[in-house]
Amino acid sequence: MTNETIDIEEQEQEDLLYEHFRMEVDKGQVPIRIDKYLVEHQPHSSRNRIQQAADAGFIHVNEKPVKSNYKVRPGDIITLMLDRPHYDTTIEPEDIPLEVVYEDADLMVINKPAGMVVHPGCGNFNGTLVNAIAWHLKDLASYDPNDPEVGLVHRIDKDTSGLLVVAKTPDAKTSLGKQFFNKTTHRSYNALVWGNFVEDEGRIEGNIGRDPKDRLRMEVFPPDSEIGKPAVTHYKVLERYGYVTLVECILETGRTHQIRAHMKHIGHPLFADERYGGTELLRGERTASYKAYIQNCFKLCPRQVLHAKTLGFVHPTTGKQMDFTSEWPADMAALIDKWRKYIKAKE
């Protein structure tokens, strides 16, 4: 039996499953629910995560999928079957360019480009941001890229650009992690979304949970429901271009796809966000020239237009407030300039 943590990632289940671990139940074992049994034998896995794996059909007993309430018996063969081949997830340093905004003995702040995966996962086992960080810090004897007590403190999506902080020491990661947990960090995002807003600013509240119809997408549920995790996004209009709007988003919480899901929920999907419907022509004219214009916009910036623009926190050692700002990447800047010219020409 391995010590691999049970983890179902953002991917669709396919018919072909691969074995990731196997164990045999001891002869003297009394009947017990399989989710409870696996929690006791997989200390790095939560019961909720195990139940999710069972619901997805990933936990098998004697070569057949079972639910969380299945009671294990002596001699049962338990396997974790996932829809991806087993892969060595050891993080190896890779010589990949990094834009380091700030660095000292405790931490570094990085401006991540769009298109770069943050952490190795299904289908992306190299070429990630953490591989690049491992290379950048390869001469720092105290930094182990495979040690969870150091490294990235938070994440952003593959196709989102912007600022991230990396802890070089366990103390730094603990301090920064507490700040994120206690919501004392300062983070703002710039996003281009479909549609025009009636108001200049607003607040979106709604639980974020996985979409039951699409496991790669998140859905918004009522705040008083028991589905998903509580999430709050504040937004402010920065510029209006008639059919699309540039907004600033400030997060109270940091849920997966939070801005993308919340904006979709209020009828303003992020421009060019394929997963949340942003690559459809949602606002504007029905003329051939306008349709061609939108397609050119998609080609100019072929990803959700979302940038983690500012990041602020208290330095874990000095206690000083640290604030950073990053410019829009070239594709986003070009797209916004295109919309500015478009709306000016319409005046």
DSSP one-letter string for 31-99: PEEHHHHHHHH-TTS-HHHHHHHHHTT-EEETTEE--TTPEE-TT-EEEEEESS---------------
Q: What span, in angstroms and rounded, lies between the C-alpha atoms of 248 and 241?
A: 15
**Which amino acid is residue 332, in one-letter code?**
M
Q: Which of 38, 1, 51, 5 is nearest to 22 (CA)?
A: 1
Output helix, strand, coil percentages for the chain, rounded to the nearest 5: 20, 30, 50
What three-state secondary structure class fits 168? coil
Active-site residue, 157 included = yes
Cα 246 to Cα 189, 238, 239, 305, 340: the distances in Å are 10, 5, 5, 9, 11
Cα of first residue to Cα of last residue in the chain, in angstroms, is: 68
Let me know if 293 is exposed, middle or buried by CB neighbors in 10 A (0-12, 13-18, 19+): middle
Contact 6, 60 (CB under 8 A): no
Q: Of these residues, 76, 83, 106, 157, which one is catalytic? A: 157
Q: Which of 315, 266, 259, 313 is nearest to 106 (CA)?
A: 315
Where in the sequence numbering do the catalytic residues fall? Answer: 157
